Amino acid sequence: MSLERRWIVVHDMQDVLRVDLPPRAITEPSTVQSESTSELLEVMSSYREAWDRNTLTPQLVDATWQEFWGVPSEAALTVPACNRSQDELAALREQNRGVLLLPDEIMTQEGPDFLLQRFPEIGKSVLRKNKNTHTGGGCIDVEMDREEPNLLAGEVNGAGLNYRIRIQDKQGQRLQTYIVASQFNKLLTGHYFDEEHRVTLPGSIAGSASFMNVKRESTGKLLVGEGHRIGNGYRTEGRKA
């Protein structure tokens, strides 16, 4: 029997995964869910082992994110390739930074609709109100700290924060990047980012503020506030020069 590619939304993982099934074979949702979930769990198990041992390879990064971005047929995404060598991935891991492969499409005006479909718990109005300070996806590295990376001592204004990011040779993290990274960390460690404390995203603007403060609840709910006051820590994005 020939196989037909079908796309199934796995609600308990907040993910859309690919499974190959015979035509009209989707009769037992629980069975399909188990099969498709196992594909992601298998590749994440390999990734987690390599992450813990600091032996990630570009090939494993590519395979993992191809599986992560399994998409509905009506929402075509172009997943970029990992542009870091194994040595560069190891150097990033020593800094507790991980690589995300972000399709350009999720950073467009249509991107929020796709993220809302993938991760409905974040809230329908969250992404539509924000603006980003820069555009484009790609192979982007981010802090993998569970809580409040780049802790700040004392009061820092927006200009001071931007200066700190520039001397790090980084950009402020955007909300779309944060959502994807946090979902990936949930798969990797069992926790979303910043379940305890709010963190600042300098790459996104909320309302009249010059940046955004966010927090994730343990249920996955995303809390977003205007950044009139910088949180205790902030998150960044890095790219290969």
Question: Which residue did the predictor score with more confidence, 78 or 238?
Answer: 238
Q: What is the pLDDT of residue 71?
A: 53
Q: What is the pLDDT of residue 8?
A: 31
Give the full edge-to-edge strand order of the sheet including 212-216. 199-201, 212-216, 222-226
Q: Provide the 8-state DSSP code for 234.
A: B
Task: Please give the average per-residue pLDDT across 163-181, as a whole number.
Answer: 95
Residue 173 and residue 203 in contact, taking contact as beta carbons nearer than 8 Å:
yes
Question: Which residue did the predictor score with more confidence, 217 or 22?
Answer: 217
Q: Provide the 8-state DSSP code for 196.
A: S
Q: What is the per-residue pLDDT across 18-49, written as a single tens digit (0 to 9) for each?
A: 333 333 333 343 333 445 577 888 999 999 99
pLDDT > 70: percent of the chain: 79
Residue 71, amino acid: V
| Number of separate domains in the chain | 1
Q: What is the per-residue pLDDT across 94-137, written as a single tens digit (0 to 9) for each?
A: 999 999 999 999 988 677 778 888 888 887 755 556 788 999 99
Residue 20 and residue 11 in contact, taking contact as beta carbons nearer than 8 Å:
no
Gap between the Cα atoms of 179 and 188, Å rounded: 14
Residue 185 and residue 192 in contact, taking contact as beta carbons nearer than 8 Å:
yes
Nearest alpha-carbon partner for 83 in 58, 107, 57:
58
Q: What is the pLDDT of residue 30?
A: 38
Name the residue range of residue 209's domain.
4-238
Q: What does the mean pLDDT of the chain come to?
A: 81
The set of residues, in sequence order, having a beta carbon less than 8 Å from that of 68 and lying 6+ positions away, is 15, 40, 184, 187
Q: Which of 2-6, 130-134, 167-171, 206-210 has the lowest mean pLDDT?
A: 2-6
Question: Which residue did the predictor score with more confidence, 155 or 105?
Answer: 105
Give me 6's structure tokens: 């079908």
Give the helix ranges, DSSP H, for 54-157. Answer: 58-68, 86-94, 111-118
The answer to whether residue 159 scores a pLDDT higher than 90 is no
